[in-house]
Amino acid sequence: MKSEKKIKICFAASSGGHYEQLMMLKPLMEEYESFVVTEKTDYDAKAKGEKTYYMHQVNRKEKTFIWRMIQNAFLSLKIYMKEKPDVVICTGVLAMIPICLISKIMGKKLVYIESFAKVTSPTETGKLLYKFADQFYVQWKPMLEVYPKAIYLGGIY
C-alpha cells in the first residue's frame, strides 16, 4: 500500500475582518492538517481546535513598520521551518506577507483571497501577492478588471 502524504495548509490573515473571512474556511481547516497564522492583538483570535501562531501587528503608517516587518519575517521563517506547509491560504494583509513569500521561495503554493470589502479597488497586499499567487481569488466581479487572471467565485461569506 502506498502511503499518501497529507497536505498541510497554513491559513494566514491579520486580525479583524481579514481573520473573520479566513474563519469562513473553517470546514477546509478541518479537512486538512492545518494551522493558523494571525496577528497578536488585544483580543486573542484563536481558531477553535486549530494550532495558532501570532505575528506582530503591523501598520504601515507607524514608525515601527519596517522593524515589525523584519520581526515578522523571522517569526514566519521559524514557523515555516517548524510546520513546513504545502500551501498557504491568505486573506491578507501586511503582517502575512512574510509567511506568504517565504513559502513561495521554498517552492510551495500560495492562494490569496482578496478582501470582501474591496469591490472596485485592490489592497496593497493584494497588488503585491497577485504577482506570486498560484491562485488569486476575488469576491466581486468588478475586481476582475483590477486582477485579470483572478478567479471569481463570489463571496466566502
Inform me whether the pLDDT recorded for 134 exceeds 90.
yes
pLDDT of 41 reads 75
Residue 64 in 3-state DSSP?
Answer: coil
Q: Show me where the domains of the chain are located.
A: 8-152
Confidence of residue 110 (pLDDT cuts 50, 70, 90): very high
Q: Tell me what the mean pLDDT of segment 132-153 comes to.
A: 96
Q: What pLDDT score was predicted for residue 58?
A: 86
**Overall fold of domain 8-152:** Rossmann fold (3.40.50)
Q: Assess whether pLDDT exceeds 90 at residue 156.
A: no
Query: Which pLDDT value is given to residue 12?
Result: 96
For the ranges 58-72, 84-98, 124-138, 140-154, the lowest mean pLDDT is seen at 58-72
Q: What is the DSSP string of 82-146?
A: HH--SEEEE---GGGHHHHHHHHHTT-EEEEE--TT-SSS--HHHHHHTTT-SEEEESSTTHHHH
**Does the pLDDT of residue 45 top 60, yes or no?**
no
CB 74 within 8 A of CB 100: no
Q: Of 143, 83, 84, which Cα lies nearest the Cα of 114?
A: 143
- How does the average pLDDT of the chain come out, rounded? 90
For residue 90, report the phi and psi dihedrals to the nearest 5 degrees.
-130, 135
- Find the mean pLDDT for residues 36-52: 76
Query: Has residue 52 got a pLDDT over 50?
Result: yes
Bond into 37 cis (ω within 30): no
